[in-house]
Amino acid sequence: MRIEKHPILAFERGKPITFYFNGIEMQGYEGETIAAALLANGVKVFTHSTKYNRPRGFFCGIGKCSSCLMRVNGVPNVRTCITPLQEGMIVESDKHELPEGMPYKKPKRESIEADIAIVGGGPAGMAAAIEAGEDANVVIIDEQPCLGGQLIKQTHKFFGSSMEGAGKRGIEIAKEMEEETRKKARVLLKTSVIGYYNRGYHFLAAVNKIDAILYEIKAKKIIFATGAQENMLVFENNDLPGVYGAGGVQTMMNVYGVKPGDAGIIVGAGNVGLILAYQLLQAGVKVKAIVEAMPKIGGYLVHAAKVRRNGVEIYTRHSIKEAYGKESVEGAIIAKLDEKWNFIEGTEKNIPCDFIAIAVGLTPSTKLVQQTGAKIKFIPAAGGWVALHNEYMQTTIDDIYVAGDSANIEEASTAVIEGKIAGLHALNSLKSVDGYEEKMNGYLKRLEELRAGEFGKRPKAAKKKIYEGYYEEVGRGRNS
C-alpha cells in the first residue's frame, strides 16, 4: 500500500518502527500516524461499533471524527489518525476502558500567558501569527504533528492570485509560512485545545497527549482558525471501512505516502473531488468514476478536462446508492437522479472498487468558538453554523476572533487574508500599529478582489449574512 514512486513527492520515511496491532507485530516508520501505518500494513478495519458490532475504519484523517478511536498503550479513545507512531506501541481494537491496574500518569502542567493565542495552524492561523507576532507575544496551537492545515496535502499548483501564493503548490506555501510563523510565535504542535473558559480573563485548556502535557493558556485575545470538517453523505453501508473523506485520502496519500486502495470512486465533482482524482492517478491508484449529483460539474473545467483526458468518467446527475462489502468496501452501486433528486429505477451501475472517497463539501469547525458564548448562526451558504463576525473578523465578543474556513468555507487565499485581518486588528487593539488604517484597508480591498467573479458569489453572499447578523446582534451600525 506504500507509494514508492511519485511524480512530485519524495517520501523520506523516518526510522523503521515496530508496533503491535491486536497482538500482531507490524512495521511502520517514524513520522507517520498510527492510522497511516495500519493502512500501509493492509489493515482497513480498525474497530467495531459498540451496539451492532459493525466494522469501522478511519474516515477524516484529521482528528475530527470518531471512526479511528482505539486503545493505545492502555489509553482508550485515542484518535489514531493524528497520533504519531512510536516504538513498541500497543494498539488495540474494541477496548474502551483503562486496563486494570494501569497507573494514572499525572501530566506535566505548563502555564502560558500570551497577548494573542491562535487555535489552528492552517493558512489562516499562520497568517495571523505572522501578522501579529513581531509586536506581540503570540502562541499558536495545532493538534497535528506539523503546521500547515489543509495545505500540507495539496500537491497541485494553487489557483487564486500570485499574491497569496497561486502558481505554487500548497505544500510549498505551507513550508514558507511555517518558517515565518516559527520566527514570530511560539508553536505548540500535537496539542489539542479542548476547552475555553471565561475566568474573568480568556483561558484555554490544551493537551499534548503524546508528551502528557496540560497547557493552561491565559490570553488577551484569541483567534479561532480551526478550519473545517468533511461532510458525510447518507447511503446504505456508508460506515463500511473504505468509505473515506476526500481529505482523509489526501492525508494518507500525500502526507504519508500510503495508498487508500487500488481502485476507487469519488463522490462529488467540485474542485476537491476533481483534484483528488488527479492526485490518485499520480499515486498510481485507479479512479473508476466520479459521481456528481448536480447536472453539471461544480469545479473548474480545467481540472475536469485533466481527469477526463486520463480516462476517468464523470457521471453528472448521478449519486451513490449503496456501498457493499463484507468487512470493507468491495464495490458501489451508483444510479441516475431525477429532477427531484430521487434515484431512477433501472439506471443502477455496479462499480467494483476497494474505496469510496466522499468529496461533498465541508462544514466549519466551530465547537470551540461556541464555548466562548460568541453568537453563532446557521448560514447554509457559509457551510453551516458559524460565529457572527464583522469585517475585522471580530465576533460578538470583542476579544474573540475567527478566520478562514471556520468562519465560512472558502479557499486558502481568503483564509490567509482573513488571518492577516484578524491578527492586525487584534494587535492594534492591544497597541497602536503604525500605518494601521492603510494596511487594513489594503487587506479588506484584497478580500473583495478575491471574492469577485463567479466563484466568489457564494462566499460573498454568506459573508453579507454574517456581517448583517453581527451588526444586528451587537446593535450598532457599521461605522460606529
- Under the rule (CB under 6 A), what is the footprint of ligand FAD? 62, 119-125, 141-144, 149-151, 154, 158-160, 192-193, 225-228, 247, 271-272, 275-276, 365, 368, 404-406, 410-413, 415
Please state the closest distance from residue 132 (CB atom) to ligand FAD, in A: 15
Please state the closest distance from residue 413 (CB atom) to ligand FAD, in A: 4
Q: Report d(CA 418, CA 412) in Å as an integer.
A: 10
Chain Cα centroid distance, residue 85: 20
β-pair type (213-224, 202-208): antiparallel
292 forms beta bridges with 316
Place of cell 480516462: 311
Please state the closest distance from residue 33 (CB atom) to ligand FAD, in A: 13
- 119 or 421: whose CB is closer to ligand FAD? 119
Please state the closest distance from residue 410 (CB atom) to ligand FAD, in A: 6
- 196 or 343: whose CB is closer to ligand FAD? 196
- 125 or 264: whose CB is closer to ligand FAD? 125
Q: Return the closest-CA partner of residue 72 out of 102, 112, 45.
A: 102
Please state the closest distance from residue 145 (CB atom) to ligand FAD, in A: 10
Measure Cα distances from 113 to 137, 201, 275, 294 in Å: 8, 11, 41, 50
- 386 or 440: whose CB is closer to ligand FAD? 386
- 47 or 406: whose CB is closer to ligand FAD? 406
Please state the closest distance from residue 419 (CB atom) to ligand FAD, in A: 7
C-alpha cell at 174: 505551507
- 39 or 255: whose CB is closer to ligand FAD? 255
C-beta separation of 366 from 386 below 8 A? yes
Measure Cα distances from 399 to 188, 259, 297, 391, 429 in Å: 21, 43, 41, 14, 9
Measure Cα distances from 288 to 233, 259, 301 in Å: 19, 15, 19
Please state the closest distance from residue 252 (CB atom) to ligand FAD, in A: 13
Q: Report d(CA 190, CA 13) in Å as an integer.
A: 19
- 130 or 415: whose CB is closer to ligand FAD? 415
Q: Report d(CA 343, CA 22) in Å as an integer.
A: 41
